[in-house]
């Protein structure tokens, strides 16, 4: 079953993290178990505090949605042990129309690759030499469909020698019955007796009744009975050699499940192999990859929550299949190849929309999930004081609080109590950070919401230095930090950029890269629209 990833935006806030968890949970409740909540950024202190309160784990981190080897419909041929005979490998390759097979050790790790070219090269060599060396007896019996006639010959574990077929015109040749010979004969009792007396290394009897004295011989001669003809035995005997003896072990190009498709293509362009082994994280073989597998890759499937802007979304978004978007922000620039489900509503929190979806589907969230969703609504609406807050946000949060049995005011205050004294200015700045591109202007805006702004203002110079470095590195026109004070119901705005821009956009007089904006609580509804109006 292919996973469908549910993800919020980069540098996710509480609403984004909880929305991914809540939507995946809703789909699970409706029987769609392949939905998986993920995140594409670090969990900030506020979100971690909320998760811990309701004993929930953060979604796993995914760094990119680029297509990987694990997303391809690659082959899953048998991965044979190095001890199996060529005969078995060759039959498997013919039946599966395969050009190569991975050969593994006892732990399933790659030992080598066996190709049809390896087998052909060995066949040509064996035709010239007409000799086999140290073939395991078990392999030989399997390939020849044979049985060991003289089971008393327990000292024989491998078979070696020059291969001969017993014919009337050549049997006088002493080489046929030497200990270094493998003699193939038919229903020829006199030949068999003479070969045993002479101490031939291995005697293969084809389609003949077995006499008791042959079975009782204790000589070192290995006597095998087979239903195959002498002609077939003379061909198949060379295919009893272990595959590890002829497979390619050096300079093998292998890929891992997590390798990105772009990198795989580039590597394949530099080589000419027909199949490449695929390894998992523990270096075990899980399949093989051929060039044709890259023609129509299966893209990752994604549901986006709390955003619909490419710059805020997961790296590699252009390679995914977007199935659905659930958001409460302005419509931005994400494009899809086909129509999708999209739910975009003018409310203060994505979790308000999700609560409505729970109601519409007749699903009651668990107390833990309801507590998370209520906390997310409080976070995104700044305890209902943000101008983005609507009556629906308040109503849905109250319903969730009854299910979770929590007090909304107490929950909100606990969320916004500042707990980042031990973090660097950059860590705090990056916790809820977004980039915007407005009419050719590049803008970065971070927001820290707290119940008392003074602790953060005391670190003003640290923040400004961090913002200066960011502006220089990424060539931003304006970098801003909103320190939003819930109790004072306003925002201290720190910025690096044009004083005139800030003054015109917010009708306020800044001083030393700082200005207080009373009543400003929302980046989405009070900061970005003002700059859009100014620059647009």
> How far is the C-alpha of 520 from the C-alpha of 527, rounded, in Å?
8
496: domain CATH number is 3.10.310.20
Q: Are 190 and 213 in contact (CB under 8 A)?
A: no
DSSP 76: -
Among residues 363, 398, 416, the one where a domain terminates is 416
DSSP 209: P
Least reliable range by pLDDT among 172-181, 232-241, 288-297, 417-426 = 172-181
Tokens of 89: 């490998």
- Cα dihedral value 407, 409, 414, 420, nearest 10: 150
Tell whether 354 and 444 lie within a shared domain: no
**Reduced to 3 states, what is the DSSP secondary structure of residue 449?**
strand
Tell whether 405 and 305 lie within a shared domain: yes
Q: Is the pLDDT of residue 479 over 70?
A: yes
Give the chain's domain count. Answer: 2
5 falls in which pLDDT band (50, 70, 90)?
very high
Helices (H), 298-453: 350-360, 367-380, 391-404, 408-416, 425-431
For the beta carbon of residue 76, count every other beta carbon within 10 angstroms.
12
So what's the pLDDT on residue 528? 94
335 falls in which pLDDT band (50, 70, 90)?
confident
**For residue range 106-135, what is the model confidence (pLDDT) as tens digits?**
999 999 999 999 999 998 888 888 898 999
Residue 508 lies in a domain: yes
Residue 506 lies in a domain: yes
So what's the pLDDT on residue 170? 65
Q: Is the pLDDT of residue 154 over 80?
A: no
Q: Is the pLDDT of residue 421 over 80?
A: no
User: What DSSP assignment string belongs to 112-168?
Assistant: EEEEHHHHHHHHHHHHHH-EEEEEEHHHHHHHTT-EES-TT-TT--EEEEEEEE--T
So what's the pLDDT on residue 405? 97
Q: Is the pLDDT of residue 173 over 80?
A: no
Q: What is the pTM of this model?
A: 0.69
Q: Is the pLDDT of residue 497 over 90?
A: yes
CA pseudo-torsion sign 62, 65, 70, 73: positive
Residue 278 lies in a domain: no
Tell whether 445 and 528 lie within a shared domain: yes
Tell whether 444 and 412 lie within a shared domain: no
Burial 234-264 (b: 16+ CB within 10 A, else e): bebbbbbbbbbebbeeeeeebbbbebbbeeb
**For residue range 303-326, what is the model confidence (pLDDT) as tens digits?**
999 999 998 898 889 999 999 999
Q: Are 237 and 163 in contact (CB under 8 A)?
A: yes
Among residues 374, 394, 416, the one where a domain terminates is 416
Provide mean pLDDT across the span 137-142.
92
Sheet strands side by side (includes 35-38): 35-38, 4-7, 301-305, 321-327, 341-344
The domain of 373 spans: 4-66+300-416
- Average pLDDT over the chain reads 92
Among residues 390, 416, 442, the one where a domain terminates is 416
């Amino acid at each position: 079953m292919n996973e469908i990833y549910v993800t919020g935006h980069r540098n996710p806030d509480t609403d984004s993290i909880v929305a991914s968890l809540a939507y995946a949970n809703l789909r699970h409740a409706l029987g769609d178990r392949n939905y998986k909540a993920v995140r594409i950024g670090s969990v900030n202190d506020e979100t971690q505090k909320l998760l811990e309160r309701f004993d929930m784990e953060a979604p796993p981190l995914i760094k990119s949605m680029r297509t990987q080897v694990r997303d391809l419909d690659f082959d899953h041929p048998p991965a044979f042990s190095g001890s199996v005979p060529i005969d078995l490998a060759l039959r498997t390759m013919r039946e599966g129309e395969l050009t190569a097979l991975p050969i593994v050790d006892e732990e399933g790790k790659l030992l080598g690759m066996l190709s049809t070219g390896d087998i052909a090269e060995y066949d040509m060599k064996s035709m010239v030499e007409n000799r086999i060396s140290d073939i395991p007896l078990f392999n030989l019996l399997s390939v020849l469909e044979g049985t060991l006639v003289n089971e008393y010959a327990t000292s024989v574990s491998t078979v070696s020698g020059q291969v001969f077929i017993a014919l009337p015109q050549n049997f006088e040749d002493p080489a046929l019955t030497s200990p270094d010979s493998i003699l193939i004969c038919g229903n020829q009792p006199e030949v068999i007796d003479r070969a045993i007396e002479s101490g031939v290394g291995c005697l293969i009897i084809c389609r003949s009744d077995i006499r008791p004295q042959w079975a009782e011989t204790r000589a070192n001669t290995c006597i095998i009975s087979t239903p195959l003809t002498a002609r077939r035995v003379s061909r198949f005997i060379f295919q009893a050699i272990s595959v590890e003896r002829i497979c390619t072990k050096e300079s093998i190009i292998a890929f891992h499940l997590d390798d990105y498709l772009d990198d795989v293509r580039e590597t394949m362009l530099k080589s000419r192999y027909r199949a490449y082994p695929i390894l998992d994280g523990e270096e075990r073989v899980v399949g093989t990859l051929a060039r044709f597998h890259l023609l129509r890759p299966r893209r990752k499937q994604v549901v986006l929550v709390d955003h619909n802007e490419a710059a805020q979304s997961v790296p590699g978004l252009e390679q995914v299949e977007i199935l659905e978007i659930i958001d409460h922000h302005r419509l931005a620039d994400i494009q899809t190849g086909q129509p999708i489900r999209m739910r975009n509503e003018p409310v203060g929190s994505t979790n308000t929309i999700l609560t409505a979806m729970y109601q519409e589907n007749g699903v009651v969230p668990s107390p833990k999930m309801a507590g998370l969703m209520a906390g997310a609504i409080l976070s995104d609406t700044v305890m209902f004081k943000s101008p983005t807050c609507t009556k629906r946000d308040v109503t849905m949060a109250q319903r969730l609080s009854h299910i979770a049995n929590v007090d909304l005011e107490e929950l909100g205050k606990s969320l916004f109590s500042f707990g980042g004294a031990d973090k660097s200015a950059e860590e705090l700045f990056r916790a809820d950070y977004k980039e915007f591109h407005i009419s050719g202007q590049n803008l970065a805006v971070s927001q820290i919401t707290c119940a008392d702004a003074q602790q953060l203002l005391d670190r003003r110079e640290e923040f400004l230095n961090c913002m200066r470095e960011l502006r220089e590195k990424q060539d931003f026109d304006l970098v801003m930090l909103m320190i939003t004070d819930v109790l004072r119901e306003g925002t201290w705005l720190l910025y690096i950029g044009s004083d005139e821009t800030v003054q015109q956009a917010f009708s306020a007089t800044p001083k030393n890269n700082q200005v207080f904006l009373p009543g400003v609580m929302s980046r989405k509804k009070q900061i970005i629209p003002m700059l859009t109006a100014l620059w647009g």
